[in-house]
Chain A
Amino acid sequence: MSSLVLTLIKGAIALNVALVVAAALVYLERRISAWIQYRIGPNRVGPFGLLQPLADVLKLYTKEDIVPYNASKPFHRIAPIISIAVALSVLCVIAPASYLLLDDGTKLFIAVAPNVNVGLLFYLALSSIGVYGIVLAGWSSNNKYSLLGGLRSSAQMISYELAMGLAAVAAVMVSGSLDMNQIIASQSGGRWNIWFQPLGFLIFLVASFAETNRAPFDLPEAEPELVGGYHTEYSGMKFGLFYLAEYANMFTASAVMTTLYLGGYDMPFLPTLLGLQEGTLPRVLFELAVFVGKVSVLLFLFIWVRWTLPRFRYDQLMNLGWRVLLPLGLANIVITGAIVFFVR
């Protein structure tokens, strides 16, 4: 019973952290894009404009919620909920630090759902459900632009999930487990998967960009062509939920990439040099800092790429997914499999 309460507490903390991170990301995105574009960015609300996300959310909450005439109301309502729910629920398998050794000798794992033996599969499965939010939003809005956006996103997500899954398979072959904690444990001491799986990392990275609908793959919401894409007909906090889901997705994708390829919370040599024992509070805080640092690098990459590259066209996106990434992913599995078979 106590473990259930503990999980609920951890889940609540994770949810709040995710929402704060999403808000912080909105702020960072605006500041970094301003820096790239010779602008200043938000700097009026609070010190350095830090309260800007709060002001944005407040504005969205007070906006009128408009549902278009002839829209399919139940689906129109449920679509943003699916998007945000999926984006947030993936968080439970992510392990931002190892464990805390309690006085009675039990291990308190930091992850919400630690040692799930299908952790990675859970992430892949839930991120594919995320597409329903966008497709339903596009279809239920009764708007041609929304429909085109929804169709684009379904095609895009299905084709890039394959490449993503194949890249993950190769990483799992190296690590030998689907459990997030095990994957990180197998990479301890600087034996990060990125050194053994550079190609796999690249494929997973590109596929993650496509999965999270970020530029250069932001076709479902390509504003010059489709006005707002699938969320053209959304207003108020429903639109805000889509927005939040995009940033939460970015965060979880970066966290999964960190776990799979960058060794998660592992940082070689430094804990031993600093004399941090496993299971102690300083060690957990150190691991959290390492994890956050690695995720931040990836998040910066997400933002940097968005403000640098133009957008793909629909058919070019499909070409890249099916003709380049998929064969590369398959070749990566074969090569990894051969090496794993002969070396071990």
Chain B
Amino acid sequence: MSDVIQLGPLATLERVRKVRQEKIYKELLDRDTTVLFEDPLENDMVLNMGPQHPATHGVLRVLLRLDGETVIKCVPELGYLHRGYEKLAENCTYVEFIPHTDRLDYLAPMSNNVGIALAIENAMGIEAPPRAQWIRTLVCELARISSHLLATGATAMDVGALTVFLWTFAEREKLYDIFELICGARFTTSYTRIGGVANDIPDWVLRKIRQWADEFIGQLEDVEKILCRNRIFIDRMAGIGYCSAEKAIALGLTGPVLRASGVARDLRRDQPYLLYDQLEFDVIVENDCDCYARFMVRLREMRESIRIIYQLLDHPIEGEVKLNDPVHVTPRKYEIYTKMEELIADFMIINFGPPAPPGETYTAIESPKGELGFFIVADGTGYPWKLKIRSPSAANLQAMPHMAEGSMVADIVAIIGGIDPVMGEADK
């Protein structure tokens, strides 16, 4: 009966699901890849971790083939949070797509906002004024700290130190309060606009940011004190999830995961954008290639981000926060209400989108998770013909099977914490 091909959308879905399952199980039971582990007693067990599992950071599904507690084979399955953003982008004007980027890496939405704004401006051949660039650099670093705080806290929680998770969460709450003061939203910020940012940051908010930064270093030291000299924590993290520099480059890893493998690649320094070429900061590199190195890279990067934030706050750039370019940038509200030309420009931008000249551009920023790139194929209209998102989480997750094989079940959660994937970004 099963050989009879049934028709209808449900039957098709069922077939797709079946083929998919068979593919996963075939890969899982592939014996050619497991040289070290023989199984004379046939005591293997296939364990399905996720997509509803407390430690898989969202809806990541990991299939494990276990021998006792040892992982023989690991197959991550992605796609449970797929919302079709790349296709959606083709049906949005450039302006309309910015809020969608909040939902990519939802732990650092500011960073994504800046990424898409830079990509669209690059496609259009315009550049935001200096004050906007200064603000963008500032919020990027705040977003980096926010994301790294969650990564370190979640890693600690996964190996059992629940308290650290709540400490870092308390700090993130303060950051969210700052985001709220900056743009009015705590989580889905949508702060950037084409050619600038939505609004200026007033001085009293900047003073709040400085005050927060002063206190933050002390909190960070608390986290370091409770974990970095803790024998149990180091034993759980060091030597786990090894990924050599060659393998990391071959797999296309970026961000803290790559830098923890000893490769000093940071787009902020290698392809400077915004104000990064004028700022002084170190590219953090650890050479141990394991989960502990990834953890340490994130911890130390937070200190570098604080350093950058201090430099920015010490040398503010004054001026306009939005470019005066009626073809691409929406004019200010009072201009729309009082002037005819600006009203027409606003109407055109909102309804048909700001036109980008035909061509292909790729713009990448160093998001907290790694290289976040937007490849835009423009056809002269206000809609992208194609918008491809190069999301760091998806690329970094490729290393998971390589890191997990031969480790134990308890290491899987440490490895996931070390990669720090955000499924909103990996599944797009």
- A, B in one complex: yes
Looking at the complex, which one of B47, B162, B167, B230 makes contact with A144 (CB distance below 8 Å)? B47
Docked pose: A216 CA to B161 CA in angstroms: 9
Distance between B235 CB and nearest chain A CB, rounded to angstroms: 6
Contact A222 B410 (CB under 8 A): yes
A313 within 8 A of B: yes
Contact A310 B161 (CB under 8 A): yes
Docked pose: A219 CA to B157 CA in angstroms: 14
Contact B160 A309 (CB under 8 A): yes
**For B162, B235, B408, which residue has the most chain A Cβ atoms within 10 angstroms?**
B162
Docked pose: A224 CA to B54 CA in angstroms: 6
Contact B47 A315 (CB under 8 A): no
- The chain B residue with its CB closest to the CB of A315 is B408
Stretch at the interface among A10-18, A33-41, A54-62, A273-281: A33-41
Contact B69 A314 (CB under 8 A): yes
Contact A225 B412 (CB under 8 A): yes
Contact B163 A36 (CB under 8 A): yes
Contact B160 A222 (CB under 8 A): yes
A308 within 8 A of B: yes
Give the chain A neighbours of B409 by CB distance below 8 A.
Answer: 148, 225-226, 314
A158 within 8 A of B: no
Distance between B348 CB and nearest chain A CB, rounded to angstroms: 51
Docked pose: A241 CA to B227 CA in angstroms: 34
A312 within 8 A of B: yes
Contact A38 B167 (CB under 8 A): yes
A227 within 8 A of B: yes
Contact A227 B160 (CB under 8 A): no
B185 within 8 A of A: no
B53 within 8 A of A: yes
Number of A residues contacting the other chain (C-beta, 8 Å)?
29
Give the chain A neighbours of B230 by CB distance below 8 A.
Answer: 309-310
CB-CB contacts below 8 Å: B371-428 with A: 408-413
Give the chain A neighbours of B227 by CB distance below 8 A.
Answer: 310
Distance between B17 CB and nearest chain A CB, rounded to angstroms: 22
Contact A227 B163 (CB under 8 A): no
Contact digits for A88-100, partner B, Cβ 8 Å, 1 yes 0 no:
0000000000000
A239 within 8 A of B: no
B365 within 8 A of A: no
Distance between A174 CB and nearest chain B CB, rounded to angstroms: 30
Contact A310 B69 (CB under 8 A): no
Docked pose: A222 CA to B160 CA in angstroms: 8
Contact A311 B232 (CB under 8 A): yes
B11 within 8 A of A: no
Docked pose: A38 CA to B413 CA in angstroms: 25
Contact B167 A313 (CB under 8 A): no
Distance between B364 CB and nearest chain A CB, rounded to angstroms: 33
B55 within 8 A of A: yes
Contact A307 B411 (CB under 8 A): no
Distance between B275 CB and nearest chain A CB, rounded to angstroms: 35
Distance between B398 CB and nearest chain A CB, rounded to angstroms: 22
A3 within 8 A of B: no
Contact B69 A224 (CB under 8 A): no
Distance between B232 CB and nearest chain A CB, rounded to angstroms: 5
Docked pose: A315 CA to B236 CA in angstroms: 11
B249 within 8 A of A: no
Contact B158 A224 (CB under 8 A): yes
CB-CB contacts below 8 Å: A295-344 with B: 307-316
Contact A310 B159 (CB under 8 A): yes
Docked pose: A222 CA to B161 CA in angstroms: 11
Give the chain A neighbours of B412 by CB distance below 8 A.
Answer: 225
Distance between A228 CB and nearest chain B CB, rounded to angstroms: 9
Contact A225 B55 (CB under 8 A): yes
Contact A224 B163 (CB under 8 A): no
Distance between B56 CB and nearest chain A CB, rounded to angstroms: 9
Give the chain B neighbours of A145 by CB distance below 8 A.
Answer: 47
A260 within 8 A of B: no
Knowing A37-B163, A311-B160, say if A223 contacts B232 (CB, 8 Å): no
A215 within 8 A of B: yes
Docked pose: A315 CA to B163 CA in angstroms: 24
B226 within 8 A of A: yes
Knowing A144-B47, A216-B160, A313-B235, say if A38 contacts B166 (CB, 8 Å): yes
B170 within 8 A of A: yes
Give the chain B neighbours of A152 by CB distance below 8 A.
Answer: 69
Contact B53 A313 (CB under 8 A): no
Docked pose: A223 CA to B165 CA in angstroms: 14
Contact B55 A224 (CB under 8 A): yes
Contact A310 B232 (CB under 8 A): yes
Contact digits for B57-90, partner A, Cβ 8 Å, 1 yes 0 no:
0000000000001000000000000000000000
Docked pose: A313 CA to B411 CA in angstroms: 8
Give the chain B neighbours of A313 by CB distance below 8 A.
Answer: 235-236, 408, 410-411
CB-CB contacts below 8 Å: B141-161 with A: 156-161
- The chain A residue with its CB closest to the CB of B416 is A224
Contact digits for A185-223, partner B, Cβ 8 Å, 1 yes 0 no:
000000000000000000000000000000110110011
Contact B413 A225 (CB under 8 A): yes
Contact B232 A216 (CB under 8 A): yes
Contact digits for B33-49, partner A, Cβ 8 Å, 1 yes 0 no:
00000000000010100
- The chain A residue with its CB closest to the CB of B170 is A38
CB-CB contacts below 8 Å: A136-191 with B: 144-145, 148, 152
Knowing A144-B45, A309-B232, say if A314 contacts B160 (CB, 8 Å): no
Contact A308 B163 (CB under 8 A): yes
B233 within 8 A of A: yes
Contact A224 B408 (CB under 8 A): no
Contact digits for A215-252, partner B, Cβ 8 Å, 1 yes 0 no:
11011001111110000000000000000000000000
- The chain B residue with its CB closest to the CB of A226 is B409
| Given pairs A224-B160, A311-B236, 4 additional interface contacts (CB within 8 A) | A226-B409, A310-B159, A310-B233, A312-B232
Pairs of residues from A and B, 5 with the lowest C-beta to C-beta distance, nearest first: A311-B160, A224-B55, A37-B166, A310-B160, A310-B161
A sample of 14 inter-chain contacts (CB < 8 A) reads A33-B163, A36-B163, A38-B170, A144-B47, A223-B54, A225-B413, A309-B232, A310-B159, A310-B227, A310-B236, A311-B232, A313-B236, A314-B409, A316-B235
B: residues with CB less than 8 A from A are 45, 47, 53-55, 69, 156-163, 166-167, 170, 226-227, 230, 232-233, 235-236, 408-413
